[in-house]
Amino acid sequence: MAELTFPLLLIIHVLGATLWTGGHFILVLRFLPEALRQKDLDIVRQFEERFEPVGLAANGAQIGAIGHFETLKFTFRNFFLEIDHQLHCFQN
């Protein structure tokens, strides 16, 4: 199970980043120029209303689930490795 955890989280992270970044590229390349030409902020607001659930879910998956899991995993691993190293140095 542990062997599959990192690749699975990495795939979820990359998919979330792709959705998040792709949505902003669409906003900048497609909707923003039209909104600036027409001087109509509602075009951007309408896009934001449609993209927000997808974008926030993707961002939440990246930061909330994956980021916290990986941070805790590496923090605790390094913490216990450092304690182990200090104990070996103290004993020798």
Distance CA 84, CA 6 (A): 24
**pLDDT computed for residue 89 by the predictor:** 61
pLDDT in tens, the chain (92 residues): 556 677 787 788 888 889 999 999 999 999 999 999 999 999 999 999 999 999 888 888 888 767 777 777 777 666 665 655 555 665 65
Model-wide pTM > 0.85: no
∠ CA 24-29-31, rounded to 5°: 85
**pLDDT computed for residue 40 by the predictor:** 95
**pLDDT computed for residue 3 by the predictor:** 65
The 3-state DSSP class for residue 1 equals coil
Q: Where along the chain do its domains lie?
A: 2-91
Distance CA 73, CA 75 (A): 6
